[in-house]
Structure 1
């Protein structure tokens, strides 16, 4: 049945659909007339216009059969002045202040902040190793003595013969052959501190921070002189700039070149050693005179060295007449890391036999035989890459020693 007042209010709402008070009043009349569905529609429309309207929410509750929500006067809201910039009513300065400690800056300006190395970020160690602790590698030790250690120990002779100590030494060769161990032994021979650095210690996601890390690294080495600064995996830290599209890596190499030259500071007492498996990927500028200009090839251990390495890794294990010489003969081409793996695997064979029998037994030669059935030299992939470089891209004779080694292995 039509209600003239409701019909009049429907017309008024149609003429002014944004009037929340009018819609609530109309919805209340509809609800009292038993037209609850229409009342719900009016309440929903009012809440769509003003979700904070307590009258509209109360109407919705009654129309849906819930308890009536008491209507209280709403405190007037002070109008918000538009911000100087941005959307009206949004305080950008407060928002930036709130997020300042959560979101780090993208760029570095040299001030204290994210990406800056902490005080003492690089630890200088003291090594007890010497070259006498390195098994075999007599040719490498002789090269180290001639190019590095003897001039350092004999300053009078160095002055007599005009031998310069500028520049550093690059150790290269297949992985797992003891380059890092040699670097530690050199530090021990000199009685110097040892600072071991890899790509993870230098590279930083913030622009400018990687360069600052390199500068901090050399500053730490100078403050700890005499110190051996060992740059591990140099091909990653000092990759050829022509091969990278990352401007951050290029500027990091530039900073490394600057520090090696000692620009703005004195590198006296800082002995730079570096190691890489892929010297052909190192930026050529790093290997110019006065930088890493001396090179030593570290090859897989020979038979005598393999025997010494095996005895070192078997020290303290329970053995029963293990023929170390025979094992060394069978492991030609194995790196030092491979030999350590052979010892671990042989010990594992004996351990599992002891678990199954319930009685501990000693490690025997046949345990090594069983281990060697599943272990192959790990330097194979490196040999293939090195062969292509040494035999087909050795235009200036830089890799003659490597080429000789590759040819000898080919004849075996």
Structure 2
């Protein structure tokens, strides 16, 4: 009995789930193993040929993969329908275009070449052509099989409506791969395959790993090499992992959870629906994109990035090319997700104008682009593919409301510059790597408090440049020189700045406002800064007034301890004015309920209203008197904190509280406004 005949008598080992249907074997005629009767051209007798290996009973490994996949997708009833004489119409959705030709061959073998097979790879056929093909199949009583990676887009509605059966061939899984390997190698096969072992492979990649006479181990090794080759260009190869990042708050915990969920989805322990989508907002340089890259690297998934600017730089910028690039990104994303989890990053989301802004300029251009983005997001969400989508923006308030509604993004995180020196130390360590491993970065972190991750990266680059120029290793003073360069301002100016910021901090503390830190380090046009935190998302009138008094305390100190008011309080006055104006004109906390100022704030149109303008001015003058009284009563604490600022240049919340407690004011603070603790 030849090897081919022997293979037909063997049970279909691992295929009871194919419902007992005999697979087409695609036999190759066996070679004769008996005495040779033939002669060569030179009259010599050929050597006896070895028996044909079991794997030769299939024309190729790719045919085996296609046959098994098609039978599994159709099931018992589907196979019977396709083989019947009822001229059925069957649509087969495949993971990508590489599957189309192999599945076409499998369909022909299954129907013994009776079926009309239609391949829709990229462009849908015209409806009239498809209707003619459908009519011909019905006329001659032959099945019609349409194969496409995206039937909804690439097949006309006439065919989709006539379909008796639509089946989906899923991407490669570990279970299916193990079945194919057992069938190819004729044996019990591997049992330790995981979805990660085949994630990202096309049918061609998988078939290429199955060679004649290969062992299970050799086949598995080729498969794993192919997976590594497929993943490497897309998975971030550099940058920190999530556990190395600090200062991201709730966003960090979410990202860690998503990395775990991605692994569960990859291993078949959870469905893609567990992956939450997130919008991450915050000032420039706070590490929003870095969070996405660290998530992709930690989860070991491809990262596909796109932004509005890329839509224009990758083509002519005309509406048609912009929409075409969007469709291309969608296709790339869906193709990648067909083989395993993918992280998609939509950067600069605020570059998409909001349709609710009231600005009609270029609306004819932007409306289709915004609609295409929304449809893309909905299509990706509805696909059921393992896609984790993150969007970043510097201005969340500028986004189109349709983009942020429930059902598109599950979570919204705001990332601000670190307010805790420990978080800033963590960011410094990420950028320093192994440099300054044994040095205490506490002083550097206190001096740099309030800086973004991008600014920290700039400090480290500058410090390394200093070390290179000096031809030595990096030292702590190199970093210190970048974070806090020597103050070149005259000493009286430094003293005035210290008193100004100390007054903000002490008065705010007396009023129960949390002060994160205060500094006399000059930044841009600012001679110093004090970080105040609003106590509530829905503040009362008393809380708004207290915040305004704390803002005005710096000007009061300038007038009381210095040479009088100067231009250094301009920002304080603007913020205090906005607070008082919205108190009266937006929040209904004054004498009237009428809302005359947009809730977004910052609108100065109220100045044209003489009544409201006078009300705001009178209220500010009254609050300024309160600030004067409090600064005069707390002169000792303000002076002591100013001395600390001149010495350390930055003081944190603990130092401010200690100084305020050590020097009590010369008045009684109302019980309701005492700082907690």
Q: TM-score, normalised by structure 2?
A: 0.34
Structure 2, unaligned runs of 5 or more: 1-122, 125-231, 486-520, 532-570, 589-599, 601-652, 658-677
User: Structure 2 vs 1, CA of residues 189 and 260 (structure 1 numbering), >3 Å: closer, same or farther?
Assistant: same
Note if contact 1:229-1:273 (Cα within 8 Å) is conserved in structure 2.
yes
For residue 331 of structure 1, report the CA deviation from its aligned partner: 1.2
The correspondence of residues 246-257 of structure 1 with structure 2, limited to 5 A, is 246=362, 247-257=364-374
Note if contact 1:169-1:293 (Cα within 8 Å) is conserved in structure 2.
yes
Partner-residue secondary structure (3-state), 1:306: helix
Q: What is the CA–CA distance in structure 2 between the aligned matches of 1:330 and 1:188, rounded to whole Å?
A: 32
Q: What is the CA–CA distance in structure 2 between the aligned matches of 1:320 and 1:221, rounded to whole Å?
A: 40
Q: What is the CA–CA distance in structure 2 between the aligned matches of 1:230 and 1:263, rounded to whole Å?
A: 13
Q: Which stretch of the first structure deviates more once superposed, 328-337 or 198-207?
A: 198-207
Note if contact 1:167-1:260 (Cα within 8 Å) is conserved in structure 2.
no
Aligned residues: 264
Which of 241, 258, 278 is residue 395 of structure 2 equivalent to? 278
The alignment status of 1:306 with 2:424, answered yes or no, reads: yes
For residue 386 of structure 1, report the CA deviation from its aligned partner: 12
Q: What is the CA–CA distance in structure 1 between the aligned matches of 2:344 and 2:523, rounded to whole Å?
A: 30
The correspondence of residues 235-384 of structure 1 with structure 2, limited to 5 A, is 235-236=350-351, 238-243=352-357, 244=359, 245-246=361-362, 247-262=364-379, 266=383, 268-301=385-418, 302-315=420-433, 322-352=439-469, 354=470, 360-374=471-485
Note if contact 1:192-1:228 (Cα within 8 Å) is conserved in structure 2.
yes
The correspondence of residues 177-216 of structure 1 with structure 2, limited to 5 A, is 177-203=286-312, 204-216=316-328
Q: Deviations over 1:302-344 (max 9, x none)?
A: 3223212222323355x59743222112211011111111122
Q: Which has the larger radius of gyration?
A: 1
Q: What is the CA–CA distance in structure 2 between the aligned matches of 1:386 and 1:283, rounded to whole Å?
A: 27
For residue 150 of structure 1, report the CA deviation from its aligned partner: 5.4
Q: TM-score, normalised by structure 1?
A: 0.54
Structure 1, unaligned runs of 5 or more: 1-109, 112-122, 355-359, 400-407
Q: Deviations over 1:235-289 (max 9, x none)?
A: 01x3212445222222111000001111897251222110011000111100112
Matched residue, 2:329 = 217
User: Structure 2 vs 1, CA of residues 386 and 361 (structure 1 numbering), >3 Å: closer, same or farther?
Assistant: farther
User: Structure 2 vs 1, CA of residues 386 and 312 (structure 1 numbering), >3 Å: closer, same or farther?
Assistant: farther
Structure with bigger RCO (C-alpha 8 Å, 6+ apart): 1
Matched residue, 1:357 = none
Partner-residue secondary structure (3-state), 1:176: coil
Root-mean-square deviation (CA, aligned residues, Å) is 4.3
Q: What is the CA–CA distance in structure 2 between the aligned matches of 1:345 and 1:370, rounded to whole Å?
A: 9
User: Structure 2 vs 1, CA of residues 185 and 361 (structure 1 numbering), >3 Å: closer, same or farther?
Assistant: closer
Q: What is the CA–CA distance in structure 1 between the aligned matches of 2:434 and 2:251, rounded to whole Å?
A: 28
User: Structure 2 vs 1, CA of residues 134 and 166 (structure 1 numbering), >3 Å: closer, same or farther?
Assistant: closer
